[in-house]
Amino acid sequence: MSGRRSGSAVSSISDDQITHLVFKLQQLIPELCARRSHKASSSKVLQETCDYIRNLHKEIEDLSDRLSQLLASIDTDNDQAAIVRSLLM
Partner 1 sequence: SHHCFSLEQINGVPTHFSLISSPSLSEPLSWILIHFLGSVELLSLSATSFPLLLSRLIFLLFSLSIQEEVLARMRSPFSLKQEFLKKWILGLQRCRSSKKNMSIFERKKVIKLSADVAMASARKGTTCWSRALIAYAVKEGNADKHLAEKILGPASERQPTEKVTVGAMAYNKRIRSKKILKRSSVIRRTIKCAPQAARPSSTVKRLVGKRRQILRSLIPGGEFMNGVSLIEETLDYIISLRAQVDVMRSLASASKLVNLN
Q: For binding to partner 1 (CB under 8 A), which residues are involved?
A: 7, 10-12, 14-15, 17-19, 21-22, 24-25, 28-29, 41-43, 46-47, 49-50, 52-54, 56-57, 59-61, 63-77, 79-81, 83-89
Write down the least CB distance from residue 70 to partner 1, Å: 4
CB 45 within 8 A of CB 26: yes
Exposed, middle or buried: residue 84 (CB in 10 Å: 0-12, 13-18, 19+)? exposed
- Per the CB < 8 A criterion, the answer to whether 31 and 45 are in contact is no
The radius of gyration of the chain's CA atoms, rounded to the nearest angstrom, is 22
By beta-carbon proximity to partner 1, the closer residue of 17 and 35 is 17
Least separation in angstroms between CB 6 and partner 1: 11
